[in-house]
Amino acid sequence: MTKEQMIAHARALQEIVSDEEMARRVGEQIAQLLQLKRKRNGRYDTSGGDKTDCGLGRTVARVIADTLTDSTPSMTAREADKRDLQALGAWGIQR
């Protein structure tokens, strides 16, 4: 795969981060594939904190995008989630 193709795939994955419904569907599929168990509050317990379906999908997409672009994650999952929510708010998207 060329560098340009990897960057294009990474950009497509970033769409998952900004599209709540898409992130939710990805999170549900990942949870089902990995047979993750929901806690009583409806969230999944992860090393980066509790995740909803949407949060799980965003985290997975972000890790893949970072890997494709060969960048080392420079922030924790919680910091990245906060950054993403701020970006969504700047675009006028309410969560």
Segment 20-53, tens digit of pLDDT: 898 999 999 999 998 999 999 999 988 878 899 9
Predicted TM-score (pTM) of the model is 0.64
Residues spanned by the domain of 46: 3-90
Beta strands in 5-72 (DSSP E): 44-46, 49-51
Beta strands in the chain (DSSP E): 44-46, 49-51
95: in domain: no
pLDDT at 75 over 50: yes
Number of domains in the chain: 1
The number of angstroms, rounded, from the C-alpha of 44 to the middle of its chain's C-alpha atoms is 14
Output the six-digit token pair for 90.
Answer: 């700047």
84: in domain: yes
26: in domain: yes
Segment 44-63, tens digit of pLDDT: 988 878 899 999 998 888 88
Q: What CA–CA distance (Å, rounded) separates 93 from 95?
A: 7
49: in domain: yes
